[in-house]
Structure 1
Amino acid sequence: MTRPIYVLNGPNLNLLGQRQPEVYGSETLGDVEHLCRETAERYGRSIVAQQSNHEGVLIDLVHEARTASSGVVVNPGGYTHTSVALRDALVTLSVPVVEVHISNVHAREEFRHHSYISPVATGVIAGLGVAGYGLAVDYICRTES
């Protein structure tokens, strides 16, 4: 049986649909997970979806994904721009890693233009709203098929 795709979301993403809908849209984290699950199921695959506001919890999930996943979709939220520790965990993965951002971080504040994650990710999707998650899961499914 194929290992699941991990979909990991960082701080404040539990507030999707409530926090700055003009930036992040009206979809909720539940909508994101539903889209990822639906996309994976088209390929006979599954997902493990987790969200945490705590850096250490996300790192532990990446460590778990090392042996339990066939790929990782990660939206590190604010940790994108600050977490060397999360980057160091992600670099240990031998499966595809797709970094996803709902908004176009490059069209926003300058501090959002730098990512510690992008250099160690297989690919980056930004600015396509929650659809970016579905594209990321689709990519991993096609890569692993």
Structure 2
Amino acid sequence: MKVLVINGPNINFLGIREKNIYGTKNYENLCSYIKDESKKLEVDVDILQSNIEGEIIGYIQDAYEKYDGIVINPGAYTHYSIAIYDALKSVSIKTVEVHISNIHSREEFRRKSVTAPACIGQICGFGFYGYIMAIMGLIKEDEV
């Protein structure tokens, strides 16, 4: 199985931003963790990050017919990017939305995801492990 992990705005500032919410591990720690755990699951994974909505849409469109699944953390775009929602729907690749923090226990505006309905599921609040849970969900979904 081949999975594309897409991280949205400010995820590259892990370890710098809001340590009380996101912890002290940095973006490189996250990428290494995902790659190491994916190897154990025998999943080929590529990881991309952008702070720019159009680039994220480009990553999604470029995944068409190249990947079996997408794991996406749209960051703040979660709450208002109909364009990312449309891109996910257009490629018909099984996708899981993931968030490091529990978006449902944070500010009211963070509790609504406009991108999650384009996904087979949403995982939030489990830190870095949420990415692995998302990949495992794609594996199980692929077995059905």
Give TM-score, length-normalised by structure 2: 0.93
1:65 matched to 2:63: yes
1:19-47 Cα distance to aligned partner (Å, 9 max, x none) = 00100111222222222212221232211
1:86-128 Cα distance to aligned partner (Å, 9 max, x none) = 1100112322201001111111111111111111110100111
Q: Equivalent residues in 2 for 1:85-124 (5 A)?
A: 85-124=83-122
- The residue number in structure 1 matching 2:75 is 77
In structure 1, C-alpha distance between the alignment counterparts of 2:123 and 2:41, rounded to whole Å: 21
Cα separation, partners in 2 of 1:68 and 1:11, compared to 1, 3 Å: same
| TM-fit CA distance, 1:66 | 1.6
- The residue number in structure 2 matching 1:141 is 139
Q: Equivalent residues in 2 for 1:22-33 (5 A)?
A: 22-33=20-31
Q: Which of 44, 48, 54 is 2:46 aligned to?
A: 48
The alignment yields a C-alpha RMSD, in angstroms, of 1.3
In structure 2, C-alpha distance between the alignment counterparts of 1:43 and 1:108, rounded to whole Å: 32
Secondary structure at 2:42 match in 1? coil
In structure 2, C-alpha distance between the alignment counterparts of 1:143 and 1:42, rounded to whole Å: 18
| TM-fit CA distance, 1:81 | 0.6
| TM-fit CA distance, 1:138 | 1.9
In structure 2, C-alpha distance between the alignment counterparts of 1:5 and 1:85, rounded to whole Å: 21
Secondary structure at 1:26 match in 2? coil
| TM-fit CA distance, 1:143 | 3.1
Secondary structure at 1:6 match in 2? strand
The answer to whether the 8 A contact 1:40-1:141 is kept is no
